[in-house]
Amino acid sequence: MTARTELYPAIEPHRHGMLPLDARHTMYWEESGNPDGVPVLFLHGGPGAGAGAKHRQFFDPAYYRIVIFDQRGAGRSTPLGELQDNTTQHLIADIEQLRTTLGVERWLVFGGSWGSTLALAYGEAHPERCLGFVLRGVFLCRPWEIDWFMRGMRQFFPEAWDRFASYLPNDERGDLLGNYHRRLNDPAHSVHMPAARIWSVYEGECATLFPDPAVQANYGSDTVALGVGRIEAHYFVNRIFLPENDLLAQVGRIQHLPMITVQGRYDVLCPPVSAWELHQAWPGSELTIVQDAGHSAWEPGITRGLVTACEAMKTRMATSV
């Protein structure tokens, strides 16, 4: 039989809820697919972008028990855009709290962009809870990758970068990250919301090989813009709360597990060299370079590659256990 490459039909969750994480944060979570199937955890990007209904469609609902949640401060989790007690270590602990709440022993971990970052950080902290990894648009959050986002992308998207940079006064453009971070944390809605929208739309304009109005509109929505703008700047300023190059340095903790990466050749947000370096550091891993795609999961070649990877994992996980 020919391996499936297209998204599965839309489905609704059969269970969902709000999980209190602490006195401040509450997490939205949902389950769909086969309640008795192989658990798969979907980790959204950003940080701060939130998950959506279409993300369920990467997975065979007859085979997988599909678990999706919105990370702290993102999407349907509350409060939106909250930075207090919001670190990589908190997110890893949240995943473990969700896992134990749902009674999951081990799961396949699926993440794109920041989701790939969090997938690696979680896996390296809890390798015994992972069956394998499907990653997209690998982001290792090294200083040069953050600097690339802030300034380097102008080499390919000068118009988008000019709109991003010129939002700040001339005397503040020498420190784009610091001055955006300050505005994004201003309590006044009239200050933080326009800055968040400019930041998020900049990312959306650079996310695809060809302009995609649907992708750009999603990044421009209030919920996504506030989550992405404020939380990304927070994590960037704090260098994702991990030692430099830690994700590559600790990969030995998970390299016994199967891993498939799908990477756009022309991914400007997360340049392919990071996916290549991760692949080189992970013997037995698989890397698919999609030659006609940028960063977004919704570019046709990336979508096909991710569905194919989730299908392939059905046998990869069985042989790795």
Alpha helices in 126-184 (DSSP H): 143-150, 158-166, 176-184
Check: CB of residue 145 under 8 Å from CB of residue 242: no
Annotated catalytic residue within 60, 234, 295, 296 = 295
Q: How far apart are CA 57 and CA 156, in angstroms?
A: 31
Q: How far apart are CA 115 and CA 181, in angstroms?
A: 21
**Residue corresponding to tokens 């090294």:** 142
**Is there a catalytic annotation at residue 267?**
yes
Report the interhelical angle of 189-205 vs 176-184 (nearest 10°). 130
Annotated catalytic residue within 32, 113, 274, 296 = 113
SS3 80: coil
Annotated catalytic residue within 267, 274, 279, 296 = 267
**Is there a catalytic annotation at residue 113?**
yes
**Is there a catalytic annotation at residue 32?**
no
Beta strands across the sheet bearing 130-136: 15-20, 26-33, 64-69, 38-43, 107-112, 130-136, 259-264, 286-290
Instruction: Name the amino acid, one letter, at 158.
Output: P
Positions marked catalytic: 113, 267, 295
